[in-house]
Structure 1
Amino acid sequence: MSHSKPGFSLKKQFSRSKQIAGMTTTMAGGLRAAQRIGAFKNPPREKLPRYIQAFCRKMAGSFGIKVVEVEPVQQHHGLWVSNHVSWMDIPVVGTVSPAFFLSKAEIGEWPVFGKLAYAAGTVFIQRGSGDAGSVATQIADFLRKGFSVVFFPEATTTDGTKIKRIHGKLLQAAIDADVPVQAMVIAYVNKDGSLSKDLPYYGKLTMKQSLKKVLDTKNVTAYVLPLKAIDPKGLSKSELTDLLQKHMQEGLAELHARVLN
């Protein structure tokens, strides 16, 4: 007598396969668009944000995640930051922001993903002996050229209920380049108005387990609330860090008050 695996469901497997097919189609479309605009040779950074936003929206959609701006996200130049709940934050942030992502230089060497990251104008960071100061300098140079950058200052993911202690070393880039810090906060919300427990990728969860949870989740909306930009003029790095911490904590509380039941 044959026994099916515990938790195995044909309907579930079909749904996962459909989503993976959608994700593959989106990636193939992204590669074609990158080829068409010459992004593999020399990414045209001025044109890229709208292509990246369209690609990220489709990528989030292929996982069944709808991205909603609670307030319109203004496309300002600056150093962008967001709370960090899941790997899904990357397509969500990419959908609403004009900023380029940061990545370790070695990811640029990866097959397919490295090519896509390069074509998307990713800022590849050369890390020297783990010195955040040199990373901030590289970001500041990029910001001075008129291009925005986004990163997750908590440096780790959370369950989505709070903002962890933020690390302010990279905020020095905004001070040095004299650009605003533009924060946003994200909440993943179920159809019944409760905070999703399946989207957060944190703790002991493996990437494989997280991917399955996300693929099996239905009707989750990623709500994004942009916060008022912070002008770093006259602020020290520690003052800017403290201000941003308070700003993001209050912002997340406001977002939850507006979208949760």
Structure 2
Amino acid sequence: MKPTWDDVQPEAWRIGPGGWLRVVLRGVPMGTLVFGGLATLLLTRLIERPLFGVDRPVTPWITQMVCRGSLRILGLTLTVSGPRIDGPGAIVANHSSWLDIFVLNARRNVYFVSKSEVAGWPGIGWLARATGTVFIRRDPREAARQRAVFEDRLRHGHRLLFFPEGTSTDGRRVLPFKSTLFAAFFTEALREDLQLQAVTVIYHAPEGESPRFYGWWGDMEFGPHLLKSLAARRHGRVELVLHPPVRVAEARDRKSLARDLEERVRDALHARIPVPHEDRDGSD
């Protein structure tokens, strides 16, 4: 049987003495910013929640500031191109790394839709809950409840963002978009007014490093990947390509909408990085 892209083991990466110094010089200020920002957010939310309920007029800006600052400390340059979405809508993006959370939050106030297991992850789970992440279970019996949650959050002006691939990759390909969650946007309460915007996240590895440097997939652990990112001698850059929003009312059904957005994301990714050899037969 032909090996698939995720059968390939990540490249070995060793942290030298200089790397450990960079871990400290980057990790201490980044940790202080992230957890200091989390404490500030939680204290602000104690006031914000009684006054505004589900609405969050202040705390998303704290999240955005923390994410921008973290990317600067890390040394990962972010550029953005394309139109911004206006009015009610949600965002879909390809998923390559835990860094996506910082990258996508750095330029927009968004609320992630994530699988329920993430809520229990140390560190990431705490941050996700504090910043208003919507946790979902991949269970058909939960569909009606999830639709109600989506409707409520979107009605309050929250910009939901989810990863339709359902998993992260090595950053060099786009997996087929699962259309299940798209069904929530076809309800009578949302379909006529809602737009969906596709965003392509493109990582460019540091010079001399593997093209998969930023990819975080399969059984890779968060801790070692974080240390590798902190220890890197230099960092590359990441692009966000914003595609023109698509009105849900103009889509035939959830599957055609998912395919349309998937193609936009994949075309932009492969316009900027080479198509991996194992994908040239058209399969991911």
Contact kept, 8 Å, 1:59 with 1:91, in 2: the verdict is yes
- What CA RMSD, in Å, does the superposition of the two structures yield over aligned residues? 3.1
Describe the shift of the 1:37–1:207 C-alpha distance in structure 2 as closer, same or farther (beyond 3 A): closer
Distance in 1, Cα, partners of 2:177 & 2:105: 21
The correspondence of residues 71-220 of structure 1 with structure 2, limited to 5 A, is: 71=82, 73-74=84-85, 77-104=88-115, 115-125=126-136, 127=137, 129=139, 131=141, 133-134=143-144, 135-176=146-187, 177-178=190-191, 179-190=194-205, 192=207, 196-217=211-232, 218-220=234-236
Distance in 2, Cα, partners of 1:205 & 1:115: 20
Contact kept, 8 Å, 2:15 with 2:228, in 1: the verdict is no
* 1:70 corresponding residue in structure 2: 81
Which of 70, 75, 86 aligns to 1:59? It is: 70
Using CA pairs under 8 Å that are at least 6 residues apart, name the structure with larger relative contact order, 1 or 2.
Answer: 2
* 1:225 corresponding residue in structure 2: 241
Q: CA deviation at 1:38?
A: 2.9
Distance in 2, Cα, partners of 1:49 & 1:209: 29
Q: CA deviation at 1:112?
A: 6.4
* 2:26 corresponding residue in structure 1: 19
Distance in 2, Cα, partners of 1:210 & 1:115: 19
Name stretches of at least 5 consecutive residues in structure 1 with no aligned partner. Answer: 1-5
Q: Deviations along 1:8-30, whole A, 9 cap, x unmatched?
A: 53211111122220221112331
Distance in 2, Cα, partners of 1:128 & 1:11: 44
Distance in 2, Cα, partners of 1:193 & 1:224: 23
Distance in 2, Cα, partners of 1:81 & 1:102: 10
Higher mean Cα deviation, 191-200 or 80-89? 191-200
Distance in 2, Cα, partners of 1:41 & 1:107: 25
Q: CA deviation at 1:252?
A: 2.0
2:38 maps to amino acid: L
Higher mean Cα deviation, 21-30 or 162-171? 21-30
Name stretches of at least 5 consecutive residues in structure 2 with no aligned partner. Answer: 1-12, 275-284
Distance in 2, Cα, partners of 1:111 & 1:203: 18
Contact kept, 8 Å, 2:77 with 2:237, in 1: the verdict is yes
* 1:3 corresponding residue in structure 2: none
Distance in 2, Cα, partners of 1:203 & 1:121: 26
Contact kept, 8 Å, 1:67 with 1:222, in 2: the verdict is yes
2:128 maps to amino acid: A
1:238 maps to amino acid: K
* TM-score where L is the length of structure 1: 0.81
> Number of aligned pairs?
251
Contact kept, 8 Å, 2:45 with 2:59, in 1: the verdict is no
Q: CA deviation at 1:109?
A: 6.9
Describe the shift of the 1:7–1:121 C-alpha distance in structure 2 as closer, same or farther (beyond 3 A): closer
Distance in 1, Cα, partners of 2:100 & 2:114: 15
Higher mean Cα deviation, 130-139 or 197-206? 130-139
2:238 maps to amino acid: A
Contact kept, 8 Å, 1:78 with 1:180, in 2: the verdict is yes
Contact kept, 8 Å, 1:39 with 1:120, in 2: the verdict is no
Distance in 1, Cα, partners of 2:175 & 2:98: 17
Identical-residue share of aligned pairs (%): 25
Distance in 2, Cα, partners of 1:123 & 1:28: 21
SS at match of 1:37: helix
